[in-house]
Amino acid sequence: MRRTSASLIAGALVATLAWSSSPATAVDPSPGITDLTTDINQILADNRLTIARSAVTVRSAVNGEELYAHDQGKLMTPASNTKLFTSAAAAETLGLDHRFETSALRAGRQVGSSIIGDLVLRGTGDPTMLGEDYASLAAAVAAKGVKLVTGRLITDDTWFDAVRLGNDWAWDDEPYYYAAQISALTASPDRDYDAGTAIVSVAPSGDSVKVSVTPPNDYLKIDNRAVVGTTTDVVIERQHSTNTVLITGTVSEEYSEWVTVENPALYAAALFRDALAKHGVRVIGRTTAGAAPASAVSLATHQSMPLSELLVPFMKLSNNMHAEILTKAMGRKVSGQGSWTAGLKVVSDFAKANGVQVLNLRDGSGLSRRDGITTSSIAQLLYSVRSKPWYPVWYASLPIAGDPDRLVGGTLRSRMRGTAAAGNVHAKTGSLTGVTSLSGYVTSADGEPLVFSIMLNQYLSSSPKDIEDKIAVRLATFSRNAANVSAQLRGGESTQEFPDLECSWLKPLPC
């Protein structure tokens, strides 16, 4: 499923930067900054980073003054820190009031209770459409007096192009919900809004294993080979390029897995057709793909929540599909092309207009390992957007360290609890195997707002996110003039285990 077309590269914006040496030296002679430099250098001296790559930038959010820099000009793999650029560009380009529309239209005449022609289901990318929303659309069609459609049910997902998987995404990620197919017409199984997926659940039922699907549908074909056992050791996986879900292993208790679907537009249409039938509307023709004719008449429309609200599950839970849908939506708005090429150009142009000098984007989520960003670029973005009118809403969408509410703390809800960083650090996490990142905002002990970016790449150990946490906690205790306050950071290693993937990409959430 790899696509290597160079046309999908948004482009690298390259400038000559003064790369800091390693270890970093204080850029200001004040005792506070000298101590800060010493302490971050010590944290980065962790032997897990000996063969790895690390980069850190810390600046004042008041005036952009550089307080610490280590390899800040080196291109790093950002993982989900890419979403900082995607979300900010979406707020600027689409606006916080932007809503996605999903519509049912008739392509033909309505004569009494019959549509003589086709019924069209058209989408513009709404990742929040649930099974119940398609049921509401069906009810609205029935309320128009429609009982029979003599033609076909047409799925119109032409708002976006037909490229459904991101450039450079690994083929073996295809069944997993964090790498679902992107479509302008899709459906989600829950209010995390995991677009393009369904939840497959298993449970022991007497001597056999019972299987259920959320939302209920016949679009996925279940091949259940699991047996009841004394432990639950089960694999639920959609087979390559099909909608067959193979279930193997043993089941002793209820267990659920989020799986992707092949062709989300047809998945959405299956949900809609079933809902129509339940509301007394029969569609005689088959389901097919196509564009709604210009003469099509709207019967019902569903609007999503505004972007201001969507930012919360998007950023708090690090939702890859939201990032990619927003990327294509930006391309559609700016150039009339709902493609990665067009959307990534919008994001890159936005970053450049805000002073970012080095940026190479291959997708909107950071799932591609060929995305390349420097910590200096991220820090510049974080500093620049503070003057934007949408900044307060965007800032509030960032995960907050140590807050147990998953839609407040998000991917940071289990981190930095009981420290000066708890409730203080607002930052975006990022995780892939061998990649971790943390970038955002923290208020110092003096009450000075700071921006920071930390990226660690190519380590062979378990995830060194505790190194990020130590730096963030140290920034929360930073004072320009105070004596060294970092003794509490020395001599203790974190006992928390961190997943190799973004914790929100693992269900149920371990973070």
Q: Which residues are catalytic?
A: 80, 83, 318
Structure tokens at 97: 């009031």
Give dist(CA 382, CA 270) in Å, integer: 42
The enclosing H or E element of 308 equals helix 307-316
- Report helix, strand or coil for 250: strand
The enclosing H or E element of 319 equals none
- Report helix, strand or coil for 325: helix
Q: Which residue has the tokens 């190479």?
A: 360
Give dist(CA 266, CA 155) in Å, integer: 7
Q: Which amino acid is at 302?
A: H
Give dist(CA 113, CA 69) in Å, integer: 70
Cα–Cα distances in Å, from 373 out to 66, 77, 277, 330, 399? 18, 7, 50, 20, 20
How many residues can be counted in the chain? 511
Query: CB neighbours (10 Å) of residue 227?
Result: 14
Handedness of CA 409, 45, 435, 344 (dihedral sign): positive
Give dist(CA 247, CA 209) in Å, integer: 10
* Beta strands 244-251; 221-224: pairing state: parallel
Give dist(CA 426, CA 103) in Å, integer: 37
Structure tokens at 130: 């649930």
Beta strand extents in 284-393 (DSSP E only) = 287-289, 297-303, 359-360, 372-373
Helix, strand, coil content of the chain in percent (nearest 5): 30, 25, 45
